[in-house]
Structure 1
Amino acid sequence: MIGVAGVPGCVALLSRRAGRRPDGHEARTHAALAQRIAALTGRTYVGEHETGRRYAEPVYFVPDRTLLQREAAELGIGGEADLFGGVVPFAFVATKTISHPALDAQARVPEGWVHALGERLADAVLPGYSVFTRADLRRAGEDLLAGGAVRIKAAHESGGNGQQVAATAAALADHVAVVDEAVLERHGAVVERDLAQAVTYSVGEVLLAGMRVAYVGSQRQTVNHRGAEVYGGSDLTVVRGRFQDLLALDLPDALRQAVAQVCRYDAEAMRAYPGTYASRRNYDVIAGRDGDGRPASGVLEQSWRIGGASGAELLAIEALARDPALQRVRAATCEVYGERVPADAEVHYRGRDERVGYLVKYSLLHRE
């Protein structure tokens, strides 16, 4: 492995997600990727960060969730060069709720909420609302149902969990009736237009040891051991630079639109919440057809932490560091519920998880 740069210090995992399972596939994947970050940057990997321990070298953190500003300050994190992830002023800023406006100025919202952001993002997201009470959930759903089915998403869930589609007023009422009011008030939910024939794109930007890359690509689905369709990986084109540099590529119209919407979303989110920063920025963008059959697209949510595409991100950075003349590479991440793995794959996790069964996660690099 060829590193980006010899950087003094060590790399430590920082586990802050509620319900984290130390032996689960996600935690073990994060550990494998943190070790790769250490090797790539010439640092020492020290495992899980220990609160109260005095480290002899500067610590580069790999958190499993976006950090709050006060958490970052306590850890000595001063900017995006100090972590693989992001920092926000309020917890809700790290969730999908910032993608949509509240119903109105009187709607219940968390402290620090910026109402103007929803208006600024209107052309970068699907029609929708963010809600924090049952009453507002019902009102938002009823308003959007006039244009077709709606998708309701719990803000604290990820990976497609905690979602429900309502195509009728009766289905909406049934969902509202069983929502946990306390959870809704604490975390919020998103109600947005549901799309048919949907495709999900990934657009991201990463800064690691002085090298900045950006990427765009599409996500794949696979079938898990229960026969359900789940995330199966991403196929990415990675270039040196920032989001805007992706627009210089010869992209299909759908991908170009996705990049443009992410550029808008990212800039407006940072503008609305000063003090937010991230060395790893990943955005999911959906494209499909609305209830009237018209094309529609929009950013679904942000991920300012280590994620499913991070294995491919690291492989791409390594390849670009190895060859200064190389301007772009293709990389992929894969999640398979079986044994078949290409011989040249970089395996990040292989094992039997108690919740999902046997699973392999790996990444591949394809030179242009």
Structure 2
Amino acid sequence: MAGTAQQTADSGKAPQERGTVVVYPGNAQRAPCSHESATYCEVARRLATIKGYDYGGLFDASRTYDGPVYFVPSDTFVSLEAARALGIRHEHHLFGGVVPYPFIATKTITHALPAPGAKAPPGWSPELAQRVHDVVLPGYSVFSIDDARDAGAALLRQGAVRVKMASGIGGLGQWVVADAGELDACLDALDAQEVARDGLVCERNLAQVETLSVGQVRVGELLASYCGTQRLTTNNAGEEVYGGSDLIVARGDFDALLQLDLAPPALQAIAQARAYHAAVLQSYPAMFASRCNYDVAQGCDEAGRRYSGVLEQSWRIGGASGAEVAALAAFRDDPALASVRASTVEVYGGDANVPADAVLYFQDVDERAGPITKYSTLAPHANP
């Protein structure tokens, strides 16, 4: 069928014949900007090399592809039917993930509703919130302004609350409120229809927080698991946003990662991310993903109480994907290599210095972000 991946089998095993890697922007929740599009294409090129496939650029629905097609979508597929129409039936068909309902791809699945009668989208699983309760921060997910007021008021009894739009990325679309007046002002400024459609998270706010990234990627026969930290930077508008990730990546599953010499906070984050991932798969068994990333926040609230918990998941190409792909390529090139350090860097402004050995993903003026430079680096990891 024209425009459909001619997959070899649905057994879950990686196809052996030569195929084509394509970028698929058709499921994007919003139109990618220049630096995002450039990153997607460069990641896809490198995945093609890893798999021994050809790089086919953007997916062309009018073309009949010879051999299997491997997709690099802009976002998580939020419909099983849409993915199947392209021939995507399991994790070996894409770099990303497929879920049966749109809200599963957002941070709203992390928390329970504030009350049994609160509004929720079709497919909502109350059991998931129960399963992840001990590995997430105190908080609620809501799909109406009224429910958000109730959720925020309940959390304010213990301190400041962070309000997060489900559609926000890179640290944007978030506000911290310290009292009922600030909560009302924040909620009154939101679009009620957008909240009803996408959802909102009200969560315990942490100070001096560190965000760890825990994840796993599978491409063909290669499997890698990682843990690391995120860096914040200031964008061209003066806002504090995501500035890159520094990862320790192990060949193999999470058990292989745990064999490395990691600090206790990292071990806690890995345990929480694993529990979260298992709970999601148990609650939504139809979903699948080859790229799984979990943000884990660790810090203290204003009363000095320490928390550690999963903030959200990502089953799509993300900010750390340049580092993930660099690590996979290193493992492919050296079968004896057990672990590496891999980083991604995002620098705003026009004076970024790119290391000579870095892989440059973008260095130009983006139509939305302004001047921005994005690159990845790879370094040895010495495990005592």
Q: Calculate the TM-score normalised by the size of structure 2.
A: 0.92
Aligned length: 364
Contact persistence 2:23–2:44 (CA under 8 A): yes
The 5 A counterparts of 1:58-207 are 58-67=68-77, 68-207=79-218
Q: Is 1:353 paired with 2:363?
A: no
TM-score w.r.t. structure 1 length? 0.96
Separation in 2 of the partners of 1:238 and 1:311? Answer: 13
Q: How does 1:183-262 map to 2 (within 5 A)?
A: 183-262=194-273
Q: Which one-letter code corresponds to 2:212 in the other structure? A: Y
Counterpart among 270, 279, 292 of residue 281 in structure 1? 292
- Taking the aligned partners of 1:284 and 1:357, their CA distance within structure 2 comes to 26
Equivalent residue runs for 1:255-270 within 5 Å? 255-270=266-281
- What is the rounded CA distance, in whole Å, between the counterparts of 2:293 and 2:182 in structure 1? 32
What amino acid does structure 1 have at the position aligned with 2:378?
A: L
The letter of the residue matching 1:93 is I
C-alpha contact 1:105 1:115 (8 A) present in aligned 2: no
State how far apart, in whole Å, the 2-side matches of 1:18 and 1:116 are: 27
What is the CA-CA distance between 1:110 and the residue it aligns to? 0.6
Distance in 2 (CA, whole Å) between partners of 1:228 and 1:48 is: 32
C-alpha separation in 2, matches of 1:11 and 1:225: 33
CA distance in 2, matches of 1:349, 1:206: 23
1:14 aligns with 2:24: yes
Percent identical residues: 48
Residue number among 301, 311, 314 corresponding to 2:322 in the alignment: 311
- Cα deviation, 1:168-219, whole Å, max 9, x if unaligned, reads 1100011121221111111101110000010111111000011100000011
CA shift at 1:356, angstroms? 1.6
Amino acid at match of 1:40: I
> How many angstroms apart in 2 are the aligned matches of 1:106 and 1:244?
40
Q: Is the 8 A contact 1:244 1:263 kept in 2?
A: no
Hey, what's the Cα distance between the residues in 1 that align with 2:15 and 2:353? 34
The amino acid that maps onto 1:102 is L
Q: Give the C-alpha shift of residue 104 in structure 1.
A: 2.1
- Report if aligned partners of 2:17, 2:67 keep a CA contact under 8 Å in 1: no
Letter in 2 for 1:178: A
CA displacement, residues 98-141 of structure 1 (integer Å, 9 cap, x when unaligned): 10011122111011111011111111100000000111000000
Matched-pair contact (CA < 8 Å) for 2:172–2:241: no
CA contact (8 A) 1:6 1:41 kept: no
Structure 1 residue 250: Cα displacement? 1.9
Structure 1 residues without counterparts, runs of 5 or longer: none
Equivalent residue of 2:98, what SS?
strand
Distance 1:216 1:26 in 2: 23
1:226 and 1:20 map into 2 onto residues whose CA distance is 20
Give a deviation string over 1:229-273, Cα, whole Å, max 9, x none: 221111100001122332222211111111010010000001001
8 Å CA contact 2:155–2:204 kept in 1: the answer is yes
Task: Give the counterpart letter for 2:205 in structure 1.
Answer: D
Counterpart of 2:375 in structure 1 is: 362
Measured after TM superposition, the shift of residue 297 of structure 1 is: 1.1
CA distance in 1, matches of 2:46, 2:324: 11
> How far apart are 1:300 and its partner, in Å?
0.6
Please give the alpha-carbon distance, in whole angstroms, between the structure 1 residues aligned to 2:372 and 2:151: 38
- Whole-angstrom CA distance in 2 between matches of 1:136 and 1:241: 43
Q: How has the CA–CA distance of structure 1 residues 50 and 5 changed in structure 2, closer, same or farther, with 3 Å as cutoff?
A: closer
Residue 55 of structure 1 aligns with which residue? 65
Instruction: Report the counterpart of residue 9 of structure 2 in structure 1.
Output: none
CA displacement at 1:7 relative to structure 2: 4.8
2-side partners of 1:363 and 1:339: how far apart? 13
Q: 1:153-180, CA deviations, whole angstroms, 9 ceiling, x for partnerless residues?
A: 1112211121111111100011121221
Residues of 1 paired with 2:139 and 2:99: CA distance?
23
State the AA in 1 paired with 2:42: A
Which residue is equivalent to 2:8? none
Partner of 2:47: 37
- Asked if 2 retains the 8 angstrom alpha-carbon contact of 1:108 and 1:133, the reply is yes
1: CA distance between counterparts of 2:29 and 2:250?
34
What one-letter code is carried by the residue in structure 1 that aligns with 2:65?
Answer: Y
In the TM superposition, residue 52 of structure 1 has moved relative to its aligned partner by 4.1
Q: Secondary structure at the match of 1:283?
A: strand
How much has 1:54 moved relative to structure 2?
2.0
Q: Please tell me the root mean square deviation across aligned C-alpha atoms, in Å.
A: 1.5
Taking the aligned partners of 1:161 and 1:7, their CA distance within structure 2 comes to: 42
Q: Is the 8 A contact 2:17 2:68 kept in 1?
A: no
**1:342-366: per-residue Cα shift (whole Å, max 9, x none)?**
0000111111112222111111110
CA contact (8 A) 1:34 1:62 kept: yes
